[in-house]
């Protein structure tokens, strides 16, 4: 692993970077979900209220982008998907600031219910076998079924798979303190995300665009195909809600090192940590992983190493 300085790092921001960006994104929920997600989580807000909610977060984001640029980081404030390809060919460290959305399963997402049931009954690989076991746990009668009614079968598959996927996604939404209090044993569901379902049954589950760039929402495979296949550097996804897709990226780009979150990320807090990492690397070259670990440990301890960020 190479030692790096800020000049080896690129920061790709895909979130709205102005009030104009924000309000325009609200009018196009097909290409942009981040702003709409603020409204979903805060039902009492209107569009203006959503902007007021986001404005202080953007203030932290824009300030740290300016400071990182002064220290030598290549900062792209309006990153599109092509930028990921472009800069993964040139830089050792890529930090992606992006929104990802979680989606359940609807009937239109199951493209061939008969074939899907066949593979659940006769799995061909470990991923399919894992889903088969979980289906058996959730709905023991389904795999015993000899359904000839594809419409009814699709309804049953949709309900069962959606139950599994939603339980998996709920796990990632818990902060650590809440996870320990959970009594429903959701940890069994950790690997049964929508992304993993799509990967387990390619061509049978509709590919859903989950990651937002400035130009559009993209599927995980769109993102992976735009990471240079020779990229062996560090992909920092700790400013994203990345646990639901980070492992999939790693499976297709095994040469790189990927840092992912264990639970939902707070953008402003994560950006403050990012600033700490870059500041540390500006003093002395180190591997990005070492710098990240040091800053993470300092945050946990409340160490003075990160007080300069305040």
Query: What pLDDT digit, counting tens, does each position of 102-153 carry?
Result: 889 999 999 999 999 999 999 999 999 999 999 988 888 887 776 666 788 8
How far, rounded to the nearest angstrom, does the alpha carbon of residue 168 sit from its chain's CA centroid?
Answer: 14
Tell me the β-bridge partners of 95.
Answer: 11, 236
Please tell me the pTM assigned to this model. 0.88
Q: Indicate the range of 105-109, 233-237, 239-243 predicted with least confidence.
A: 239-243
Q: What is the per-residue pLDDT for 261?
A: 78
Question: What pLDDT, in 10s, does the model give residues 167-203?
Answer: 888 877 665 555 544 445 544 667 889 999 999 999 9
Please, are residues 249 and 224 in contact by the beta-carbon 8 Å criterion? yes
Please, are residues 92 and 9 in contact by the beta-carbon 8 Å criterion? yes
How far, rounded to the nearest angstrom, does the alpha carbon of residue 62 sit from its chain's CA centroid?
Answer: 21
Q: Over range 6-10, report the average pLDDT.
A: 98
Please, are residues 206 and 111 in contact by the beta-carbon 8 Å criterion? yes
Rg of the chain on CA atoms, in Å? 21
CA atoms within 13 A on the CB side of 149: 6
């Amino acid at each position: 692993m190479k030692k790096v300085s800020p000049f080896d790092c690129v920061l790709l921001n895909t979130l709205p970077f102005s009030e104009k960006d924000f309000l325009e994104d609200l009018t196009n929920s097909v290409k942009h979900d981040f702003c709409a997600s603020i409204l979903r989580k805060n039902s009492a807000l209107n569009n203006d209220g959503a902007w007021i909610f986001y404005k202080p977060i953007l203030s932290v984001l824009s300030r740290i982008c300016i400071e990182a640029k002064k220290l030598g980081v290549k900062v792209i404030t309006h990153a599109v998907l092509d930028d990921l390809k472009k800069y993964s060919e040139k830089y050792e460290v890529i930090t992606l600031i992006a929104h990802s959305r979680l989606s359940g399963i609807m009937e239109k997402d199951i493209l061939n219910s008969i074939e899907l049931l066949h593979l659940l009954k006769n799995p061909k690989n470990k991923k399919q076998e894992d889903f088969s076991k979980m289906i058996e746990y959730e709905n023991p009668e389904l795999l015993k079924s000899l359904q000839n009614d594809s419409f009814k079968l699709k309804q049953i598959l949709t309900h069962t798979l959606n139950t599994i996927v939603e339980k998996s996604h709920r796990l990632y939404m818990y902060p650590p303190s809440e996870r320990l209090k959970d009594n429903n044993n959701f940890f069994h569901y950790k690997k049964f995300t929508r992304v993993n379902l799509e990967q387990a049954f390619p061509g049978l589950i509709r590919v859903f665009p989950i990651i937002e760039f400035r130009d559009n929402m993209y599927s995980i495979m769109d993102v992976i195909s735009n990471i240079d296949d020779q990229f062996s550097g560090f992909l920092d996804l700790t400013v994203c809600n990345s646990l639901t897709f980070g492992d999939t990226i790693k499976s297709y780009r095994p040469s790189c090192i990927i840092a992912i979150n264990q639970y939902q990320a707070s953008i402003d807090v994560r950006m403050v940590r990012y600033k700490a990492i870059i500041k540390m690397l500006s003093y002395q070259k180190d591997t990005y992983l070492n710098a990240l670990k040091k800053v993470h440990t300092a945050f946990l301890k409340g160490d003075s190493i990160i007080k300069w960020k305040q």
